[in-house]
Protein backbone atom coordinates (compact mmCIF):
# COMPACT_ATOMS: atom_id res chain seq x y z
CA UNK A 1 0.00 0.00 0.00
CA UNK A 2 1.27 3.47 -0.79
CA UNK A 3 2.02 5.60 2.23
CA UNK A 4 -0.46 8.34 1.36
CA UNK A 5 -3.23 5.74 0.80
CA UNK A 6 -2.42 4.08 4.07
CA UNK A 7 -2.52 7.36 5.96
CA UNK A 8 -5.81 8.38 4.35
CA UNK A 9 -7.43 5.08 5.39
CA UNK A 10 -5.87 5.35 8.84
CA UNK A 11 -7.31 8.82 9.32
CA UNK A 12 -10.74 7.81 8.05
CA UNK A 13 -11.23 4.55 9.91
CA UNK A 14 -8.70 3.73 12.60
CA UNK A 15 -8.82 4.87 16.21
CA UNK A 16 -5.46 5.45 17.85
CA UNK A 17 -4.80 5.56 21.62
CA UNK A 18 -6.55 8.52 23.25
CA UNK A 19 -7.23 9.95 19.82
CA UNK A 20 -10.07 11.80 18.10
CA UNK A 21 -11.93 10.44 15.07
CA UNK A 22 -11.00 11.33 12.43
CA UNK A 23 -7.38 11.72 13.52
CA UNK A 24 -5.90 15.21 13.59
CA UNK A 25 -2.19 14.40 13.67
CA UNK A 26 -0.31 12.28 11.20
CA UNK A 27 1.20 9.12 12.70
CA UNK A 28 4.51 7.80 11.39
CA UNK A 29 4.24 4.59 9.40
CA UNK A 30 6.54 1.84 10.70
CA UNK A 31 7.51 -0.77 8.12
CA UNK A 32 9.56 -3.01 10.42
CA UNK A 33 11.56 -2.95 13.62
CA UNK A 34 14.77 -4.63 14.66
CA UNK A 35 16.98 -4.30 17.72
CA UNK A 36 16.28 -0.85 19.13
CA UNK A 37 15.37 0.66 15.76
CA UNK A 38 12.02 1.38 14.14
CA UNK A 39 12.29 1.45 10.34
CA UNK A 40 9.94 3.98 8.77
CA UNK A 41 8.03 3.47 5.52
CA UNK A 42 9.03 7.01 4.53
CA UNK A 43 11.78 9.17 6.00
CA UNK A 44 10.76 11.64 8.70
CA UNK A 45 12.85 14.75 9.40
CA UNK A 46 15.57 13.14 7.27
CA UNK A 47 15.63 9.80 9.16
CA UNK A 48 14.50 6.49 7.71
CA UNK A 49 14.88 4.81 11.07
CA UNK A 50 14.40 5.93 14.64
CA UNK A 51 15.99 4.76 17.87
CA UNK A 52 13.20 3.58 20.13
CA UNK A 53 13.10 5.43 23.45
CA UNK A 54 9.76 3.97 24.58
CA UNK A 55 10.08 0.16 24.44
CA UNK A 56 6.59 0.39 22.93
CA UNK A 57 5.17 1.53 26.29
CA UNK A 58 7.40 -0.47 28.66
CA UNK A 59 7.05 -3.75 26.82
CA UNK A 60 9.87 -4.39 24.32
CA UNK A 61 12.65 -4.80 26.89
CA UNK A 62 14.80 -6.97 24.58
CA UNK A 63 14.27 -4.78 21.52
CA UNK A 64 12.45 -5.87 18.36
CA UNK A 65 12.66 -8.87 16.10
CA UNK A 66 14.77 -10.78 18.62
CA UNK A 67 16.05 -14.12 17.26
CA UNK A 68 15.31 -15.99 20.53
CA UNK A 69 11.74 -14.72 20.78
CA UNK A 70 11.19 -15.23 17.05
CA UNK A 71 12.31 -18.83 17.44
CA UNK A 72 9.95 -19.37 20.37
CA UNK A 73 7.09 -17.93 18.31
CA UNK A 74 7.92 -20.07 15.26
CA UNK A 75 8.25 -23.22 17.34
CA UNK A 76 4.90 -22.68 19.00
CA UNK A 77 3.19 -21.66 15.73
CA UNK A 78 4.12 -25.04 14.31
CA UNK A 79 2.33 -26.75 17.22
CA UNK A 80 -0.70 -24.48 17.78
CA UNK A 81 -1.24 -20.75 18.15
CA UNK A 82 -4.34 -21.17 20.29
CA UNK A 83 -6.75 -23.60 21.90
CA UNK A 84 -9.45 -22.77 24.41
CA UNK A 85 -8.41 -22.97 28.07
CA UNK A 86 -11.72 -24.26 29.44
CA UNK A 87 -11.30 -28.00 30.03
CA UNK A 88 -7.96 -28.00 28.21
CA UNK A 89 -4.44 -27.09 29.25
CA UNK A 90 -1.01 -27.00 27.63
CA UNK A 91 2.66 -26.74 28.37
CA UNK A 92 3.29 -23.07 27.48
CA UNK A 93 0.67 -21.76 29.92
CA UNK A 94 1.61 -24.20 32.68
CA UNK A 95 5.31 -23.47 32.30
CA UNK A 96 4.66 -19.74 32.31
CA UNK A 97 2.48 -19.89 35.43
CA UNK A 98 5.03 -22.02 37.28
CA UNK A 99 7.80 -19.64 36.22
CA UNK A 100 5.88 -16.59 37.42
CA UNK A 101 5.23 -18.22 40.80
CA UNK A 102 8.94 -19.01 41.02
CA UNK A 103 10.20 -15.48 40.32
CA UNK A 104 7.58 -13.39 42.16
CA UNK A 105 7.47 -12.93 45.96
CA UNK A 106 7.01 -16.21 47.82
CA UNK A 107 3.36 -16.19 48.95
CA UNK A 108 2.01 -15.64 45.42
CA UNK A 109 1.11 -19.14 44.24
CA UNK A 110 -1.80 -18.99 41.80
CA UNK A 111 -1.93 -17.39 38.37
CA UNK A 112 -4.83 -16.10 36.27
CA UNK A 113 -3.71 -15.41 32.70
CA UNK A 114 -5.58 -12.81 30.66
CA UNK A 115 -5.14 -10.71 27.55
CA UNK A 116 -4.24 -7.24 28.75
CA UNK A 117 -3.16 -5.25 31.76
CA UNK A 118 -6.56 -3.65 32.23
CA UNK A 119 -8.17 -7.07 32.37
CA UNK A 120 -5.53 -8.24 34.86
CA UNK A 121 -6.56 -5.33 37.10
CA UNK A 122 -10.25 -6.18 36.62
CA UNK A 123 -9.47 -9.74 37.71
CA UNK A 124 -7.49 -8.50 40.72
CA UNK A 125 -10.44 -6.38 41.85
CA UNK A 126 -12.85 -9.25 41.29
CA UNK A 127 -10.63 -11.57 43.32
CA UNK A 128 -10.51 -9.13 46.24
CA UNK A 129 -14.22 -8.30 46.28
CA UNK A 130 -15.16 -11.94 45.89
CA UNK A 131 -12.77 -12.97 48.66
CA UNK A 132 -14.64 -10.79 51.18
CA UNK A 133 -18.04 -11.76 49.80
CA UNK A 134 -17.11 -15.42 50.22
CA UNK A 135 -16.12 -14.73 53.80
CA UNK A 136 -19.50 -13.15 54.50
CA UNK A 137 -18.27 -9.54 54.32
CA UNK A 138 -19.95 -8.17 51.16
CA UNK A 139 -19.72 -4.64 52.55
CA UNK A 140 -15.97 -4.70 51.93
CA UNK A 141 -16.17 -3.68 48.31
CA UNK A 142 -14.33 -0.39 47.88
CA UNK A 143 -10.74 0.12 46.84
CA UNK A 144 -8.25 2.56 48.32
CA UNK A 145 -5.43 4.05 46.30
CA UNK A 146 -3.28 7.15 46.14
CA UNK A 147 -3.74 9.89 43.59
CA UNK A 148 -1.55 10.08 40.51
CA UNK A 149 -1.99 6.41 39.61
CA UNK A 150 -2.80 4.64 36.37
CA UNK A 151 -4.29 1.14 36.22
CA UNK A 152 -5.82 0.86 32.75
CA UNK A 153 -8.77 2.03 30.70
CA UNK A 154 -11.63 -0.39 31.41
CA UNK A 155 -14.17 0.68 34.03
CA UNK A 156 -12.82 -0.86 37.21
CA UNK A 157 -9.20 0.19 36.56
CA UNK A 158 -10.41 3.66 35.52
CA UNK A 159 -12.08 4.05 38.91
CA UNK A 160 -8.67 3.87 40.61
CA UNK A 161 -6.80 6.02 38.08
CA UNK A 162 -5.98 9.54 39.17
CA UNK A 163 -9.39 11.20 39.54
CA UNK A 164 -8.21 14.65 38.40
CA UNK A 165 -5.63 14.05 35.71
CA UNK A 166 -5.89 12.46 32.32
CA UNK A 167 -8.97 11.27 30.53
CA UNK A 168 -10.87 9.88 33.45
CA UNK A 169 -12.22 13.13 34.83
CA UNK A 170 -14.83 12.87 32.08
CA UNK A 171 -16.41 9.97 33.94
CA UNK A 172 -16.67 11.30 37.44
CA UNK A 173 -20.17 10.53 38.64
CA UNK A 174 -20.31 7.45 36.42
CA UNK A 175 -17.35 5.55 37.79
CA UNK A 176 -17.52 3.62 41.04
CA UNK A 177 -16.55 5.91 43.92
CA UNK A 178 -13.26 4.67 45.29
CA UNK A 179 -11.23 6.11 48.12
CA UNK A 180 -8.21 8.32 47.41
CA UNK A 181 -5.40 9.72 49.50
CA UNK A 182 -2.92 12.32 48.27
CA UNK A 183 -0.10 11.40 45.91
CA UNK A 184 2.81 9.77 47.73
CA UNK A 185 5.71 12.21 48.34
CA UNK A 186 8.99 11.19 46.70
CA UNK A 187 10.83 10.94 50.03
CA UNK A 188 9.64 9.16 53.14
CA UNK A 189 7.57 11.41 55.38
CA UNK A 190 6.17 10.07 58.61
CA UNK A 191 3.09 12.30 58.31
CA UNK A 192 2.17 10.69 54.99
CA UNK A 193 2.76 7.21 56.42
CA UNK A 194 0.41 8.17 59.23
CA UNK A 195 -2.21 9.30 56.71
CA UNK A 196 -2.01 5.89 55.00
CA UNK A 197 -2.36 4.04 58.32
CA UNK A 198 -5.25 6.21 59.49
CA UNK A 199 -7.16 5.94 56.21
CA UNK A 200 -6.87 2.15 56.09
CA UNK A 201 -7.94 1.92 59.75
CA UNK A 202 -10.89 4.30 59.39
CA UNK A 203 -12.33 2.64 56.28
CA UNK A 204 -11.42 -1.01 56.94
CA UNK A 205 -15.09 -2.05 57.13
CA UNK A 206 -15.78 -0.96 53.56
CA UNK A 207 -12.36 -1.66 52.01
CA UNK A 208 -11.76 -4.82 50.00
CA UNK A 209 -8.24 -3.85 49.05
CA UNK A 210 -5.59 -1.19 48.66
CA UNK A 211 -4.26 -1.06 45.10
CA UNK A 212 -1.11 0.83 44.12
CA UNK A 213 1.70 0.89 41.61
CA UNK A 214 4.78 0.19 43.73
CA UNK A 215 7.74 2.66 43.60
CA UNK A 216 6.88 4.16 40.19
CA UNK A 217 3.55 5.64 39.16
CA UNK A 218 3.67 5.31 35.38
CA UNK A 219 1.14 6.79 32.99
CA UNK A 220 -0.49 8.77 35.81
CA UNK A 221 2.49 11.12 35.96
CA UNK A 222 5.81 9.22 36.04
CA UNK A 223 6.34 9.90 39.74
CA UNK A 224 8.66 7.90 42.04
CA UNK A 225 8.22 7.31 45.77
CA UNK A 226 10.06 5.80 48.69
CA UNK A 227 9.52 2.01 48.93
CA UNK A 228 9.00 2.48 52.67
CA UNK A 229 5.38 3.42 51.97
CA UNK A 230 4.78 -0.10 50.68
CA UNK A 231 5.83 -1.52 54.05
CA UNK A 232 3.48 0.90 55.77
CA UNK A 233 0.63 -0.26 53.53
CA UNK A 234 1.48 -3.93 54.14
CA UNK A 235 1.40 -3.45 57.91
CA UNK A 236 -1.78 -1.38 57.85
CA UNK A 237 -3.55 -3.88 55.59
CA UNK A 238 -2.52 -6.79 57.83
CA UNK A 239 -3.56 -4.95 60.97
CA UNK A 240 -7.02 -4.10 59.65
CA UNK A 241 -7.97 -7.00 57.42
CA UNK A 242 -7.60 -5.38 54.00
CA UNK A 243 -6.00 -7.02 50.95
CA UNK A 244 -3.03 -5.40 49.21
CA UNK A 245 -2.71 -5.36 45.41
CA UNK A 246 0.47 -4.30 43.62
CA UNK A 247 0.00 -3.33 39.99
CA UNK A 248 3.43 -4.15 38.53
CA UNK A 249 2.26 -4.04 34.92
CA UNK A 250 4.73 -1.23 34.16
CA UNK A 251 7.37 -1.88 36.83
CA UNK A 252 7.73 -5.65 36.48
CA UNK A 253 10.64 -7.50 34.87
CA UNK A 254 13.49 -5.29 35.97
CA UNK A 255 12.49 -1.81 34.84
CA UNK A 256 13.09 -0.11 38.21
CA UNK A 257 16.36 -1.93 38.93
CA UNK A 258 14.91 -4.90 40.85
CA UNK A 259 13.06 -7.74 39.14
CA UNK A 260 9.83 -6.46 40.69
CA UNK A 261 9.42 -3.09 42.36
CA UNK A 262 7.98 -4.87 45.40
CA UNK A 263 11.46 -6.33 45.95
CA UNK A 264 12.71 -2.84 46.87
CA UNK A 265 10.42 -2.79 49.88
CA UNK A 266 10.89 -6.44 50.80
CA UNK A 267 7.14 -6.88 51.10
CA UNK A 268 4.78 -9.02 49.10
CA UNK A 269 1.23 -8.20 48.11
CA UNK A 270 -1.79 -10.52 48.32
CA UNK A 271 -2.45 -9.96 44.63
CA UNK A 272 -0.04 -8.84 41.90
CA UNK A 273 -0.72 -7.76 38.31
CA UNK A 274 1.81 -8.26 35.52
CA UNK A 275 1.66 -7.36 31.83
CA UNK A 276 3.50 -5.11 29.38
CA UNK A 277 7.04 -6.66 29.35
CA UNK A 278 5.63 -10.13 30.10
CA UNK A 279 5.96 -11.23 26.45
CA UNK A 280 8.93 -8.99 25.69
CA UNK A 281 6.57 -6.74 23.73
CA UNK A 282 5.53 -9.45 21.25
CA UNK A 283 1.90 -10.18 22.09
CA UNK A 284 -0.77 -9.02 24.46
CA UNK A 285 -0.81 -11.07 27.65
CA UNK A 286 -1.15 -10.27 31.34
CA UNK A 287 -1.30 -12.17 34.60
CA UNK A 288 -2.92 -11.75 38.00
CA UNK A 289 -1.21 -13.68 40.78
CA UNK A 290 -2.63 -14.29 44.24
CA UNK A 291 -1.81 -16.05 47.50
CA UNK A 292 -3.30 -19.32 48.64
CA UNK A 293 -5.21 -17.41 51.32
CA UNK A 294 -7.02 -15.38 48.65
CA UNK A 295 -7.72 -18.46 46.49
CA UNK A 296 -8.92 -20.49 49.51
CA UNK A 297 -11.19 -17.66 50.60
CA UNK A 298 -12.83 -17.52 47.19
CA UNK A 299 -13.21 -21.31 47.15
CA UNK A 300 -15.05 -21.30 50.46
CA UNK A 301 -17.82 -19.03 49.15
CA UNK A 302 -21.34 -19.74 48.07
CA UNK A 303 -20.08 -19.42 44.48
CA UNK A 304 -16.72 -21.16 44.88
CA UNK A 305 -15.30 -20.27 41.47
CA UNK A 306 -13.63 -17.21 40.01
CA UNK A 307 -16.16 -16.34 37.32
CA UNK A 308 -13.84 -14.98 34.68
CA UNK A 309 -12.60 -16.67 31.50
CA UNK A 310 -11.37 -14.68 28.52
CA UNK A 311 -11.64 -16.41 25.15
CA UNK A 312 -7.91 -16.18 24.64
CA UNK A 313 -6.99 -17.08 28.21
CA UNK A 314 -3.58 -18.72 28.44
CA UNK A 315 -2.92 -18.20 24.73
CA UNK A 316 -0.15 -20.72 23.89
CA UNK A 317 1.67 -18.46 21.43
CA UNK A 318 1.88 -15.56 23.87
CA UNK A 319 2.74 -17.91 26.76
CA UNK A 320 5.56 -19.58 24.82
CA UNK A 321 7.04 -16.20 23.96
CA UNK A 322 6.61 -15.02 27.57
CA UNK A 323 8.54 -18.07 28.81
CA UNK A 324 11.30 -17.36 26.30
CA UNK A 325 11.37 -13.68 27.22
CA UNK A 326 11.69 -14.42 30.95
CA UNK A 327 14.42 -17.01 30.29
CA UNK A 328 16.24 -14.52 28.07
CA UNK A 329 15.98 -11.79 30.70
CA UNK A 330 17.24 -14.00 33.51
CA UNK A 331 20.02 -15.48 31.35
CA UNK A 332 21.50 -12.00 30.91
CA UNK A 333 22.88 -9.77 33.62
CA UNK A 334 19.73 -7.66 33.35
CA UNK A 335 20.39 -5.87 36.65
CA UNK A 336 23.75 -4.66 35.35
CA UNK A 337 22.14 -3.59 32.05
CA UNK A 338 19.49 -1.59 33.87
CA UNK A 339 22.20 -0.05 36.10
CA UNK A 340 24.18 0.92 33.02
CA UNK A 341 21.12 2.55 31.47
CA UNK A 342 20.37 4.31 34.74
CA UNK A 343 23.91 5.74 34.70
CA UNK A 344 23.59 6.79 31.05
CA UNK A 345 20.25 8.50 31.70
CA UNK A 346 21.61 10.33 34.75
CA UNK A 347 24.56 11.58 32.78
CA UNK A 348 22.62 12.37 29.60
CA UNK A 349 19.77 14.18 31.34
CA UNK A 350 21.88 16.02 33.92
CA UNK A 351 21.87 19.19 31.81
CA UNK A 352 18.12 19.12 31.22
CA UNK A 353 17.43 20.88 34.51
CA UNK A 354 18.66 24.17 33.11
CA UNK A 355 16.38 24.13 30.05
CA UNK A 356 13.81 26.94 30.41
CA UNK A 357 10.42 25.54 31.46
CA UNK A 358 11.85 22.36 33.04
CA UNK A 359 10.58 21.78 36.56
CA UNK A 360 12.17 18.45 37.48
CA UNK A 361 14.50 15.77 36.11
CA UNK A 362 14.39 12.29 37.64
CA UNK A 363 15.86 8.91 36.84
CA UNK A 364 15.19 5.52 38.39
CA UNK A 365 16.35 2.23 36.89
CA UNK A 366 15.83 2.34 33.13
CA UNK A 367 13.36 5.23 33.38
CA UNK A 368 14.24 8.86 32.67
CA UNK A 369 11.76 11.71 33.14
CA UNK A 370 11.88 15.42 32.39
CA UNK A 371 8.89 17.26 33.81
CA UNK A 372 7.98 20.69 32.49
CA UNK A 373 6.14 23.49 34.26
CA UNK A 374 3.53 23.58 31.49
CA UNK A 375 1.45 21.33 29.24
CA UNK A 376 3.68 20.14 26.44
CA UNK A 377 3.16 20.88 22.74
CA UNK A 378 3.10 17.20 21.80
CA UNK A 379 3.52 17.68 18.07
CA UNK A 380 6.46 20.07 18.44
CA UNK A 381 8.15 17.91 21.09
CA UNK A 382 7.72 14.72 19.09
CA UNK A 383 9.07 16.41 15.97
CA UNK A 384 12.10 17.66 17.88
CA UNK A 385 12.86 14.10 19.03
CA UNK A 386 12.39 12.69 15.53
CA UNK A 387 14.78 15.33 14.24
CA UNK A 388 17.36 13.75 16.58
CA UNK A 389 16.50 10.34 15.11
CA UNK A 390 14.64 9.12 18.21
CA UNK A 391 11.10 7.97 18.90
CA UNK A 392 9.55 9.48 22.03
CA UNK A 393 5.92 9.95 23.01
CA UNK A 394 5.67 12.87 25.45
CA UNK A 395 2.37 13.57 27.22
CA UNK A 396 0.88 16.17 29.55
CA UNK A 397 3.86 17.94 31.13
CA UNK A 398 6.25 15.01 30.63
CA UNK A 399 9.03 14.03 28.26
CA UNK A 400 10.20 10.60 29.30
CA UNK A 401 12.03 7.52 28.12
CA UNK A 402 12.17 3.87 29.12
CA UNK A 403 14.45 2.36 26.49
CA UNK A 404 14.94 -1.35 25.77
CA UNK A 405 17.54 -2.84 28.14
CA UNK A 406 19.74 -3.73 25.16
CA UNK A 407 20.17 -0.07 24.14
CA UNK A 408 23.87 0.61 23.65
CA UNK A 409 25.58 3.62 25.18
CA UNK A 410 25.85 5.62 21.94
CA UNK A 411 22.13 5.15 21.22
CA UNK A 412 21.32 6.00 24.81
CA UNK A 413 23.22 9.27 24.45
CA UNK A 414 21.13 10.09 21.37
CA UNK A 415 17.94 9.29 23.27
CA UNK A 416 19.02 11.70 26.01
CA UNK A 417 19.79 14.39 23.42
CA UNK A 418 16.30 13.85 21.99
CA UNK A 419 14.67 14.11 25.42
CA UNK A 420 16.48 17.42 25.97
CA UNK A 421 15.48 18.64 22.49
CA UNK A 422 11.85 17.63 23.02
CA UNK A 423 11.77 19.34 26.41
CA UNK A 424 13.21 22.52 24.89
CA UNK A 425 10.77 22.45 21.94
CA UNK A 426 7.66 21.50 23.91
Ligand X SMILES: *Cc1c(COP(=O)(O)O)cnc(C)c1O
152 binds ligand X (CB under 6 A): yes
In the DSSP assignment, the letter for residue 41 is: E
Select the span of 98-106, 197-205, 212-220, 351-359 touching ligand X (CB under 6 A): 212-220
Residues whose CB falls within 8 Å of the CB of residue 88, separated by 6 or more in sequence, listed in order:
none
CA-based R_g, the chain, Å: 21
125 binds ligand X (CB under 6 A): no
CA distance 321 to 300: 35
In the complex, minimum distance from the CB of residue 315 to ligand X, in angstroms, rounded to a whole number: 14
Nearest residue (beta carbon) to ligand X: 117
Q: Report 260-299 residues binding ligand X (CB under 6 A).
A: 275-276
150 binds ligand X (CB under 6 A): yes
The correct pick among 53, 105, 214, 218 for binding ligand X (CB under 6 A) is 218
121 binds ligand X (CB under 6 A): yes
Active-site hit among 126, 153, 276, 397: 276
Establish whether 377 is a catalytic residue. Answer: no
Strand order in the sheet with 30-34: 30-34, 37-44, 47-52, 390-391
CA distance 259 to 105: 10
Residues whose CB falls within 8 Å of the CB of residue 404, separated by 6 or more in sequence, listed in order:
36, 52, 55, 60, 61, 62, 63
- CA 209 from chain centre, in angstroms, equals 20
The correct pick among 62, 140, 147, 151 for binding ligand X (CB under 6 A) is 151
CA distance 371 to 353: 9
Establish whether 247 is a catalytic residue. Answer: yes
In the DSSP assignment, the letter for residue 238 is: H
Active-site hit among 64, 115, 131, 150: 150
Select the span of 7-15, 36-44, 147-155, 364-372 touching ligand X (CB under 6 A): 147-155
CA distance 390 to 417: 9
Nearer to ligand X, 158 or 425 (CB): 158
352 binds ligand X (CB under 6 A): no
The correct pick among 118, 199, 291, 382 for binding ligand X (CB under 6 A) is 118
| CA distances, 142 to each of 44, 94, 137, 138 (Å) | 48, 32, 12, 10
162 binds ligand X (CB under 6 A): no
Establish whether 182 is a catalytic residue. Answer: no
Select the span of 26-34, 111-119, 200-208, 416-424 touching ligand X (CB under 6 A): 111-119
Strand order in the sheet with 243-247: 108-114, 286-291, 271-274, 243-247, 207-212, 142-146, 179-181
247 binds ligand X (CB under 6 A): yes
219 binds ligand X (CB under 6 A): yes
Establish whether 276 is a catalytic residue. Answer: yes
In the complex, minimum distance from the CB of residue 177 to ligand X, in angstroms, rounded to a whole number: 20
368 binds ligand X (CB under 6 A): no
Residue count, binding to ligand X (CB under 6 A): 15
Planar angle of CA 105, 61, 230, nearest 5 degrees: 35
- Active-site positions read 18, 150, 247, 276
Q: Where does this chain bind ligand X (CB under 6 A)? A: 116-118, 121, 150-152, 213, 218-219, 247, 249-250, 275-276
Amino acid sequence: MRNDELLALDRAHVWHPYGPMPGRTEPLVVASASGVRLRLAEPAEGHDELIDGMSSWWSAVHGYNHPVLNEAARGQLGRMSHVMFGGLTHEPAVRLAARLVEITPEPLRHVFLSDSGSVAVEVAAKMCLQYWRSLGRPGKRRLLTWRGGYHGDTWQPMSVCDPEGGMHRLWSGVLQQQLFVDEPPAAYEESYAELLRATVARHADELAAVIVEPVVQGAGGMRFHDPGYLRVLREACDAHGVLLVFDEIATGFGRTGTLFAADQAGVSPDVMCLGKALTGGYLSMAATLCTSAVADGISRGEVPVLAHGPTFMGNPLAAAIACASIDLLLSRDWALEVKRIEGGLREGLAGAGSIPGVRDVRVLGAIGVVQLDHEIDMAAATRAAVREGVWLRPFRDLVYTMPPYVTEDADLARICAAVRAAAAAG
